[in-house]
Amino acid sequence: DTEVTQTPKHLVMGMTNKKSLKCEQHMGHRAMYWYKQKAKKPPELMFVYSYEKLSINESVPSRFSPECPNSSLLNLHLHALQPEDSALYLCASSQPRLAERTTTDTQYFGPGTRLTVL
């Protein structure tokens, strides 16, 4: 199974709502990522979890809160978002080489959640 699943596929929320995006993989990968992608732009890294610990936070606003409850699941909790946060949110996973703190293997991406903030 080389699949990364993301739910929901689409999400519309108001600026005062609280919602969560979910990502799941069963490939035994121990690195999981959240990316944000605006239209016609490349993905931008938001967070990386390695062995269920937050490894990278790319200075993302606190209205985005990641969580990695176990090695297969990754959540992104959303609160008080702004309209400019509307984007495609992509989850990915890979198998890290811990000793060299790099990823050596392919990143597998989920299909994304299309988020619209009204």
Q: Which residues lie near another protein (CB under 8 A)? A: 4, 6, 31, 33, 42-45, 48, 50, 55-56, 88, 90, 92, 94, 96, 100-112, 114
Q: How do beta strands 96-97 and 10-13 pair?
A: unpaired
CB of residue 16 to another protein, shortest distance in Å = 27
Which CB sits closer to another protein, 18 or 97? 97
**Closest by alpha carbon to 110, among 29, 51, 23, 27?**
23
CA distance 62 to 56: 14
CB of residue 74 to another protein, shortest distance in Å = 13
